[in-house]
Structure 1
Amino acid sequence: MTGFIISEREGGIVTLTLNRPEKRNAISTRGECDEVVDAVEALRRDDTVRCIILTGAGTSFCAGGDLKGMRDRTGITQGDTAAEMRESYRRGIQRIPLALYELDIPTIAAMNGPAIGAGLDLACMCDIRIASEKAIFAESFVKVGIVPGDGGAFLLPRVVGMSKALEMSLTGEAINAAEALACGLVSRVVAPDDLLPTARALAEKIAANPPQAVRLTKRLLREGQHLRLSTLLEMSAAFQALAHDTRDHREAVAAMLEKRAPSFEGR
């Protein structure tokens, strides 16, 4: 481990912090990719985790890739041939979207500063995005003569729509927090000091609900982006049957009828 990821837990909420502030939290090495994936996989196996917050140390969320590494073909972009470079992406940074986007635990990106290139795509792998007023965002791969290699071509259009995604991807220009809010890239913009408290308060609201219902709901919304309505309805019926069979469902109904606060066990 290189210490790229700091994991902190309060109750059922886990905060993962990218911890390379001197490099603006750029993802520079295969080991850093492994740390992100390993942290996510460890949380996936923990049924007691209710929500995850992802943020960055210092003044940046994530500056994307390491330009010096690109120049020297080291780190996540190592390889002397195109075939070697392809494998470097597949075995390195591309493992992050496969792990994070498919996670059933709800995730919140708390963007404290610039989210550039792979950093923007990392935020788009999360379910909900909250931004500091100081944050800026750019799908800037074209500016350095490359393409989104980490899933951005899949993720960004699903967040902001195809027209805005093409505008951002083909110009590489940055947008500010107000523009990000207007195009739906983020759902809230708050003062810098309010960012983590706001993310935490939102995570607590999510965590207060029955965890199995929350995870099943997230999975339905994810799958609904790709399925026909008839197929999604079949999946919804199956998931609903599972939800109706939980203790937490029965507790939620009983608590409403008895006008009291529910107590969920995750069962």
Structure 2
Amino acid sequence: MAEAAIGGSAEKTSHEEVGLRFEVDGEIATITLDRPERRNAQTFATWSELARIGDSLPQQVRIVVVRGEGPSFSAGIDLRLFTPEGIPGQDSLATLATAEDPTFEQRIAHAQRGFLWLRRPDIVSIAAVNGHAIGAGFQLALACDLRVLAEDAKLCMKELALGLVPDLTGTKPLVDLVGLPRAIEICLTARAVGAREAAAIGLAELVVAPEDLAEAVRDLAAALLATDRGAATATKRLLQGAGGRTLEEQSAAERREQVARVRALFAGS
């Protein structure tokens, strides 16, 4: 269901049953985790809706902001999924485990789709993190290209304390950002990483006072939108592939992208 935002042209979509709000205002889309009474805990329905948003993202969108309503970004997985009763209308992890459901791995793969699309080259995703980003919340922040943290932010890979492993695409970006030894320490101790430490070790691009978080994200989005979209997409694609290429291979990729950009710029002139 889409409706015009009061006082503006933004489109809004609300799915109360999964606790997400989705708004599009020009070239900026905002996804809000909206279950503050549960500190924005996530469920299979949350991940399915995130995947649906990625599949149907309007073509004009260049920036995707992910934020949490209330005092926390996301406290992670909804612990009701561990109970036999689960969550009304959704399978519980206990049921999936005891039933030896052959589709269990496919269910996880579908959940991962809700995170993977945030890395698309044609968009830049920004996590606006306040309060706790625990487990699935931490992994959602890691799924984004950039992270802006409020000074009260605390990041924690809590899965191991629950006897689980991080499975929502968070392990690779964590290693890429902080290196293998630090990633092992953060995950295997399941400790909280504060905002200042996060910035020091490469987990955050910016740390601001909680009351300045929204403005800092708006300023960053404006700066990102000031560049050419085609050039930004090509450059992000180059940067994403750089880690897996040799210098010679990266140089060749740069040449290909530049030829395509110059031809695009002068096409029809």
TM-score tier by shorter-chain length is 0.7 to 0.9
TM-score if structure 1 supplies the norm length?
0.84
| Cα distance in structure 1, aligned partners of 2:70 and 2:132 | 11
- Tell me which residue corresponds to 2:104: 85
* CA apart distance, 1:245: 2.4
* CA apart distance, 1:140: 1.3
Q: 1:218 to 1:82 in 2, by over 3 A?
A: same
- Tell me which residue corresponds to 1:173: 191
- Tell me which residue corresponds to 1:236: 254
Deviations 1:115-140 (A, max 9, x none): 11111111111111000111100011
* CA apart distance, 1:222: 1.1
* CA apart distance, 1:178: 1.2
- Tell me which residue corresponds to 2:30: 15
* CA apart distance, 1:3: 5.2
- Tell me which residue corresponds to 1:71: 83
The answer to whether the Cα contact below 8 Å between 2:49 and 2:114 also exists between their aligned partners in 1 is no
Deviations 1:79-125 (A, max 9, x none): 1227443232123x222233222353011111022111111111111
The answer to whether the Cα contact below 8 Å between 1:51 and 1:107 also exists between their aligned partners in 2 is yes
- Tell me which residue corresponds to 1:33: 47
Which residue, 53, 64, 72 being the options, matches 1:60? Answer: 72
Letter in 2 for 1:38: R
The answer to whether the Cα contact below 8 Å between 1:131 and 1:190 also exists between their aligned partners in 2 is yes
Deviations 1:8-55 (A, max 9, x none): 2333222211111112112112x2212111112222x50x22211111
Which structure 2 residues correspond to residues 65-214 of structure 1 after superposition, within 5 A? 65-72=77-84, 74=86, 75=91, 77=93, 79=96, 80-81=99-100, 83-91=102-110, 93-214=111-232
The answer to whether the Cα contact below 8 Å between 1:36 and 1:96 also exists between their aligned partners in 2 is yes
Letter in 1 for 2:38: K
Ranges in structure 2 where 5+ consecutive residues have no aligned partner: 1-14
Ranges in structure 1 where 5+ consecutive residues have no aligned partner: 251-267
The answer to whether the Cα contact below 8 Å between 1:13 and 1:204 also exists between their aligned partners in 2 is no
| Cα distance in structure 2, aligned partners of 1:97 and 1:222 | 16
| Cα distance in structure 1, aligned partners of 2:47 and 2:79 | 16
Aligned-residue identity in percent: 34
Structure 1: 4+ residue segments shifted above 4 A: 73-76
Higher RCO, Cα 8 Å, sep 6+: 1
The answer to whether the Cα contact below 8 Å between 1:37 and 1:100 also exists between their aligned partners in 2 is no
Letter in 1 for 2:198: A
| Cα distance in structure 1, aligned partners of 2:186 and 2:92 | 23
- Tell me which residue corresponds to 2:10: none
Q: 1:59 to 1:76 in 2, by over 3 A?
A: farther
Secondary structure, aligned partner of 1:109: strand
* CA apart distance, 1:191: 0.7
| Cα distance in structure 2, aligned partners of 1:27 and 1:226 | 32
- Tell me which residue corresponds to 1:51: 63
Secondary structure, aligned partner of 1:245: helix
Q: 1:210 to 1:170 in 2, by over 3 A?
A: same
* CA apart distance, 1:73: 7.8
TM-score if structure 2 supplies the norm length?
0.84
**How many residue pairs end up in the alignment?**
245
| Cα distance in structure 1, aligned partners of 2:243 and 2:115 | 16
Letter in 2 for 1:85: F
